[in-house]
Homo-oligomer: A and B are copies of this chain.
Amino acid sequence: MNEVRIGVIGTGVMGTDHARKLAGGIPGARLTAVQDFAADRASALAQELGVLAIAEADALIADAEVDAVLVCSPDGTHAALGLKAIAAGKPVLIEKPVAAERGEVEALMRAEMAAGRKLVQVGYMRRFDPGYAEMRRVVASAEVGSPLFMHCQHRNESSPSYLTSELIIANSAGHEFDAARFVLGEEIVAATVISPPEPRHAPGRQPQFIVLQSASGTVVDIEVYTDARYGYDVQAELVCEEGTVRLRPGPPTSLRHAARDGLVVPPDWRARFADAYRLQFESWVRSIVTGQSNEGSTAWDGYMTLLVTEACLKAWSTGNRIAVEQPERPAFYQG
């Protein structure tokens, strides 16, 4: 395959962003079609980018001009669309979360195993962020010893009114779970959740403090605060036996102005993870062309993140430390 022709399902904020990037910005990729349940929105984007608007997701998946599918539709549709892409034998990159129910991911994995090759990648793009990648490299190389702690902070400037304390765990924290598994290179086995009070400006949404423990004992603590006001901010420090590695995100310049010296903090994730998204797409396209697997999240990774999420929800509602179920990892997903 010389050039990967991509169809995008779902042209909301994220799907539109992704479609624009794929239309010219990713070597070896060509955007050929977009689809959205709001047909007007899809048409407008298709016209802007000079690609086809297809009315139905099924038709897009089946289209002869589509080699691979990017799923950015509403969360509830992710798994079903993934199954259809597998049925069509086409690689599919599914925005996170891969599913809301474990049964859906199990079905995805069964279908993929039946197909005999990995077709699903889950859009946990942080795996392609140079900072997280460096943390993983440090763990794997053991050059400053084994990991003891991983301290994580995830802050949004503000969040939509439908976001609840529960959804903060069920949805916002997912990137952190996947990142911890990726950096540490092992499963999470237990979860504890301790919550501070709701901030006054965001009633009904407690920030969350989640403490995970990995198979070999590393303690991972995660602050998720989705109404931090000052901006979008994702931080992490990995503490190993002999040294620590800290993310150092931020703009390429610092500013001294108006009695402050430092960085401008952006309001959303776009600048922070622009490189990660680009590198994720490049890697996905390369893995399709070469048939080689990449660092991206597999269906298994999506599954285990879901099990961590379930444990956290239970830990939150009970106040107890909850073990994360550890199903046997199929040989298909090993190595």
Residues of B within 8 A of A218 (CB): 196-197
A295 at the interface (CB under 8 A from B): no
**Known A259-B231, A263-B261; contact A131-B253, beta-carbon cutoff 8 A:** yes
Give 1 or 0 for each of A249-278: 1 = CB within 8 Å of chain B CB. Answer: 111111111111111111100000000000
A-side residues, CB < 8 A to B, are: 24-29, 129-131, 134-135, 144-146, 148-149, 151, 153, 192, 194-197, 199-201, 207, 209, 211, 213, 216-219, 221, 223, 225, 227-231, 233, 239, 241-267, 282, 319, 321
Whether A258 pairs with B230 at a CB distance below 8 angstroms is yes
Residues of B within 8 A of A145 (CB): 199-201
CA distance A256 to B195 in the complex (A): 22
Residue of A149, A228, A239, A261 with most partner-chain B CB within 10 A? A261
Whether A197 pairs with B211 at a CB distance below 8 angstroms is no
Residues of B within 8 A of A207 (CB): 148-149
Chain B, Cβ-Cβ closest to A257: B243
Residue of A144, A153, A230, A239 with most partner-chain B CB within 10 A? A230
Checking B197, B245, B319 against A148 with a beta-carbon cut-off of 8 angstroms, the contacting residue is B197
Residues of B within 8 A of A24 (CB): 27-28
CA distance A209 to B148 in the complex (A): 10
Checking B194, B239, B252, B257 against A213 with a beta-carbon cut-off of 8 angstroms, the contacting residue is B194
12 contacts across the A-B interface (CB closer than 8 A): A130-B251, A148-B196, A195-B219, A209-B211, A211-B221, A229-B242, A231-B259, A246-B253, A246-B256, A248-B254, A254-B262, A261-B265
Give min CB distance, A85 to chain B, whole Å.
24
Q: A194-B321, A221-B221, A248-B251 are in contact. List 12 more A-B contacts (CB 8 A).
A: A27-B29, A144-B255, A145-B199, A148-B199, A149-B207, A149-B225, A196-B218, A223-B239, A256-B265, A259-B265, A260-B260, A260-B262
